[in-house]
Amino acid sequence: MSDFLSQARALLGDTHVLTSDLAGYATDWRGKFTGVPLAVCRPADTQQVAALVTLCAAHSVCIVPQGGNTSMCGGATPDSSGQQIILSLSRLNRVRDISPLNNTMTVEAGCVLQTLQELAAQHERLFPLSLGAEGSCQIGGNIATNAGGVQVLRFGNTRDLVLGLEVVLPDGQVLNLLKALRKDNTGYDLKHLFIGSEGTLGVITAAVLKLFPAPRSRAVAFAAFQTPQQALELLGLMRGAMGDRFTAFELMSNASVAMVQRYFPASPALFAMPYPWHVLMQASDGGEQSALDNAFQAALETALEHGVIDDVLIATSEAQAKELWMVRENISEAQQLDGANIKHDIAVPVSSVPAFIEEVLPLLHAAYAGVRPVVYGHLGDGNLHFNVSSPAGMSTPHWQAETDRVNVIVLDVVARMQGSFSAEHGLGQLKNHEMAMYKTPLEIDVMRRVKNALDPKLLMNPGKLLPN
């Protein structure tokens, strides 16, 4: 491989082909997967990406595209062979164009999500993709995994926010689909092949993203109730009352809220008594704050009068709204601090969420005395992070050894309800074996046909997404 590395250095420069001190690239965000890369290559632009991919094809070197390395599923981590390169996109961080009149911006794959949110705000626009890792994740990775987040209820997944793409194909050709069009009915919409493909079909280098008028007002509330069915009823009531102004609806079990309050003692006080379930909800629009507040409060009063909710805390300031949102945003980190847990990122039809919870919780408690499910997520689009913490006193290795059994308990119910075993985090190498369990043979066969057509040498992110 010395010949390959010398040619890569000639192409990118010595300082951008790294072969030492690679730990930050070689281990995933959760610390679950660690690989041994041949090198980390850091091209500066699309032309260098294309030249590097062409070089890899000539030498049959496998490529693992990597953005902010925030994958929850080991999707951007190489294997242990020492024969795969990490293609880091962090230097492709330019904004090529922003058009407030067209409500679009054209950006490179290495742009950090939060940077794009802030840039849009400077132009009185909103880029609505919002998730916990937004301070470090990169837009190319968001697109490659079709990331979801907390505003899918109103704006959809990442797929719904992408108008065009630029992709370097596995043979090094640059496929330019960077059109800022809302309507283009000229055959197959090729960009959708690459959105959610996790780098297995090519390297996303740039995208045209949708923007929206920046909201001028926001209303936030934290509601409490006894059952997930009440949450579903509340969702229907609030969407009926608020329409498209209703942008977020986050379900949280009491266990998840209590965990945040334990590990983040500065978290706001909520209710005088504990409730089994909570929802954090948000509405926003371009009108006056007082008008939004009046409509929001009237809807919540109706919910109280009809017994849909038991109690509610309405934010009276932007500072208080941010504090309430921090409860939701700190759940993942609190659970990480709490110890071993088996994560699930599932989706079922929105109407089936209460039935799913009510069926799976007893099954888990019957299988493991003292198990601690931590349930939270985006009820408005049927996506739950159904994480299962170990019983008190059980060691991490012992609990992790139960992963397959716990997965079967949870995912068999998901499959029976016509759901998805991966709603927004992707598959990576953590969940790719579950494709064979929960996808039909024909679905997998069609995916393999697409993969083989675009990447016949199987060089792009091997071992990810598709079952081995």
Tens digit of each residue's pLDDT (9 = 90 or more) over 245-295: 999 999 999 999 999 999 999 999 999 999 999 999 999 999 999 999 999
d(C-alpha 334, C-alpha 256), whole Å = 8
Predicted local confidence at residue 432, as pLDDT:
87
Let me know whether 8 and 27 are in one domain. yes
Short-list 201, 111, 195, 110, CA closest to 464: 201
pLDDT grade for 2, boundaries at 50, 70 and 90: confident
Q: Between the CA atoms of 260, 264, 266 and 268, what dihedral angle is there, to the nearest 10 degrees?
A: 0
Let me know whether 349 and 414 are in one domain. yes
Let me know whether 107 and 209 are in one domain. yes
Q: What is the pTM of this model?
A: 0.92
The residue with tokens 């740039």 is 206
Local structure of 298: helix, strand or coil: helix
pLDDT grade for 132, boundaries at 50, 70 and 90: confident
Is residue 449 included in any domain, yes or no? no
CATH code, 161: 3.30.465.10
Predicted local confidence at residue 298, as pLDDT:
96
Amino acid at 443: E
pLDDT grade for 212, boundaries at 50, 70 and 90: very high
Is residue 248 included in any domain, yes or no? yes
Let me know whether 323 and 244 are in one domain. yes
d(C-alpha 403, C-alpha 263), whole Å = 25
Last residue of a domain, one of 423, 439, 460: 423
Amino acid at 323: E
Q: Is the pLDDT of residue 323 over 90?
A: yes
Distant-in-sequence, close-in-space partners of 464: CB < 8 Å, separation ≥ 6 = 74, 75, 198, 199, 200, 427, 428, 429, 432
At 354-379, the pLDDT tens digits run: 999 999 999 999 999 999 999 999 99
How many separate domains does the chain show? 4
Is residue 178 included in any domain, yes or no? yes
Amino acid at 58: A
Whether the CB-CB separation of 195 and 146 falls below 8 Å is answered with yes
Whether the CB-CB separation of 50 and 168 falls below 8 Å is answered with yes
Q: Which two tokens stand for residue 396?
A: 């991490």
Could you list the residue range(s) of the whole structural domain that residue 164 is in?
A: 95-213
Please state the separation of Cα 415 from the chain's center in Å: 21
CATH code, 296: 3.30.70.2190
Let me know whether 36 and 84 are in one domain. yes
Last residue of a domain, one of 307, 328, 349: 328
CATH code, 419: 3.30.70.2740
Let me know whether 259 and 221 are in one domain. yes
**Diameter over CA atoms, the chain:** 74
Let me know whether 227 and 322 are in one domain. yes
